[in-house]
Structure 1
Amino acid sequence: MTTILRASSGRTGAAAGIAMMLLGVLLFAVNDTLGKWLVGTYAVGQLLLVRSISGLCAMAPFIARTERSSFVRVPRPRLQLLRILFSTMETALFFWAVAELPLAEVIAYYMAGPIYVTALSPFLLGERVGWRRWTAVAVGFVGVVLALHPSPETISIGTICALTGSFSYALFLVTTRKLAGTSGTVLMTAQLLAALVFGGALVLFQGWVQPGPVDLALMLLLGIGSLGGNLCVNQSLRLAPASVVVPFQYTLIVWGLIFGYVFFGEVIGPLTMLGTVIIVGAGLFIFVRERRLHADQITQSATGG
């Protein structure tokens, strides 16, 4: 009976974790769609500024409960600065990219971020990458090239922003991994403050377009939606193992295809679709392989091997 109850509890936790991951990804997709909708009328700096203000307001209760010393004496300050630089760059470049490219295409480029992380990890994290994952990295890069299908017609400001943004996202993930011991509230607050400053600086050059009540509410939702998505993903990882829930993050591309078609009439080409499938496959293989290696390491440690 105890075994049955434990199995049932495990299934319930897995189902709840998957549901939270799917909800978090949906919030990210809605957020990305709102960003694309708004960037057609308002400058990127204005979106970053308002998004950061609403995010900081939502974070206020968590900030208030955090020791002030945590914000003053942050560990590895230079790495913290690099992290917020990469975070600000990847967010701004995403908005610039979706202003020019289909939503699903930009999301596909960003989904290649974990592949870049694997390629960079031996050099920046000191981690060993075996031939299987290097093969997956190479296949993932083939997927990126197919999605890009480079030619004079396809290379544009939008593709450059998407590729640079996805690489910045990978560097953001690497620096976040190196700062794993830092409070999540401190990391998120620093991200929002940096985006606020950068957005404010851009507004000085790009100008400010007075939004109506609806558009202002949508801009404020950008910050709330991003935080809500992060909270759902974090909760999903508490409820279920990463090996169960993380693969569902790739449903973001499905939502990108649906929302891009419904709201913007976008249909991506066959080469881009093929490249997207390859990127997803390579990313999933790398994730599964890393989880297996991590489990093997735990087993060896437990047996004294």
Structure 2
Amino acid sequence: MSADNTRLGIWLMVATTFVFAMQDGISRHLAGEYNVLMVVMIRYWFFAAFVIAVAVRKAGGLRAAAATEQPLVQAFRGVLLATEICVMILAFVLLGLIESHAVFTSYPLLIAALSGPVLGERVGWRRWAAIAVGFVGVLIILQPGMRVFQIEALIPLAAAFMFALYGLLTRYVARKDSAATSFFWTGTTGAVVMTAVGLWFWEPMSAPDWGWMALLCVTGAGGHFLLIKTYELAEASAVQPFAYLQLVFASALGLLVFGETLETNVVIGAGLVVSAGLFTLWRQRQKELRD
């Protein structure tokens, strides 16, 4: 990879995190007014149309994109991601963008912790130490025992766990399937399951909110497109640390648009989580270079 490609890949990752943060803000607004399942269902309709359009343009078309030897795992991945999105948007409504994202940033640590039992990878003591530090950060954010503990605070942690498992399963299926195949299954199975559930919760939507809904769909597809381009240009290890900027952008949105407050414990805890995550990424990079 050239230095120019890596530099452009980093800028694309920054743009990706900004777009996804805007998507989260719009999701919070719409889910505050309408049922979460309906909002995610409509978003998935557009997402499925997007992945099908991408598949049609590639060699082999839809048949090639859908071809897999592991359909059950691929389908489970798609359902898992759709469920995680619903849970995370619920967290935005109940807890706000700042605290939800501060907890959710623990997902790379969960991936590291689960990579052993799920993928059979070896996790050394340094990464286990980083995982422990990261979860101290999560506890600082949640403050169990320091105040009346809100059960809602566990919702973004559950979303982080689901997203970590989704990420590990994505690495698992990548041993046999292409990224295009995984992308196709993610969009289509998610759309099927969300339609089966979401139609039961249909509500009339105002004209301005249909505009926000359209923007949510565009930012969702646009964010995934930017992410694909990012990984085409640069190695994941070079750009992944910049994914943490989504926490910064989402926090700014929470402060400026939704009137949220930035608590000291959240800043300290998020700092520990991000630092531990960056160390884990660095150790993974060192391991890949040795191998």
Residue 165 of structure 2 aligns to a residue in which SS? helix
**TM-score, reference length from structure 2:** 0.91
Aligned equivalent of 2:32, options 20, 28, 40: 40
Asked whether 1:134 is paired with 2:128, we answer yes
Identity of aligned residues (%): 29
Asked whether 1:274 is paired with 2:268, we answer yes
Q: Is the 8 A contact 1:58 1:224 kept in 2?
A: no
Q: Which moved more, 1:77-86 or 1:67-76?
A: 67-76
Counterpart CA distance in 1 for 2:279 and 2:29 is 33
Asked whether 1:17 is paired with 2:12, we answer no
Deviation at 1:25, TM superposition (A): 0.7
Give the number of the structure whose alpha-carbon radius of gyration is greater: 1
Aligned equivalent of 1:223, options 192, 205, 217: 217
Residue 266 of structure 1 aligns to a residue in which SS? coil
Residues 118, 264 of structure 1: CA spacing in aligned structure 2 closer, same or farther, 3 A cutoff? same
Deviation at 1:72, TM superposition (A): 5.3
List aligned pairs for 1:97-116, cutoff 5 A. Answer: 97-116=91-110
Deviation at 1:218, TM superposition (A): 1.9
Counterpart CA distance in 1 for 2:48 and 2:71 is 21
Aligned equivalent of 1:124, options 95, 111, 118: 118
Residue 287 of structure 2 aligns to a residue in which SS? helix
Letter in 1 for 2:191: L
**TM-score, reference length from structure 1:** 0.87
Residues 213, 186 of structure 1: CA spacing in aligned structure 2 closer, same or farther, 3 A cutoff? farther
Deviation at 1:204, TM superposition (A): 4.5
Q: Summarize deviations over 1:237-293 as a string: whole Å, max 9, x none.
A: 332333332211111111111000111001131112111111100000000111011
Asked whether 1:59 is paired with 2:59, we answer no
| Number of the residue aligned with 2:149 | 154
Residues 245, 117 of structure 1: CA spacing in aligned structure 2 closer, same or farther, 3 A cutoff? same
Residues 279, 188 of structure 1: CA spacing in aligned structure 2 closer, same or farther, 3 A cutoff? same
| Number of the residue aligned with 1:303 | none
Deviation at 1:71, TM superposition (A): 5.4
Deviation at 1:222, TM superposition (A): 2.4
Asked whether 1:244 is paired with 2:232, we answer no
Aligned length: 287
Residues 190, 72 of structure 1: CA spacing in aligned structure 2 closer, same or farther, 3 A cutoff? closer
Aligned equivalent of 2:87, options 86, 93, 98: 93
Q: Is the 8 A contact 1:47 1:199 kept in 2?
A: no
Q: Is the 8 A contact 1:110 1:166 kept in 2?
A: yes
Deviation at 1:28, TM superposition (A): 0.5
Residue 59 of structure 1 aligns to a residue in which SS? helix
Q: Is the 8 A contact 1:102 1:268 kept in 2?
A: no
Residue 254 of structure 2 aligns to a residue in which SS? helix
Counterpart CA distance in 1 for 2:235 and 2:186 is 27
Residues 74, 240 of structure 1: CA spacing in aligned structure 2 closer, same or farther, 3 A cutoff? closer
Q: Is the 8 A contact 2:66 2:181 kept in 1?
A: no
| Number of the residue aligned with 2:184 | 189
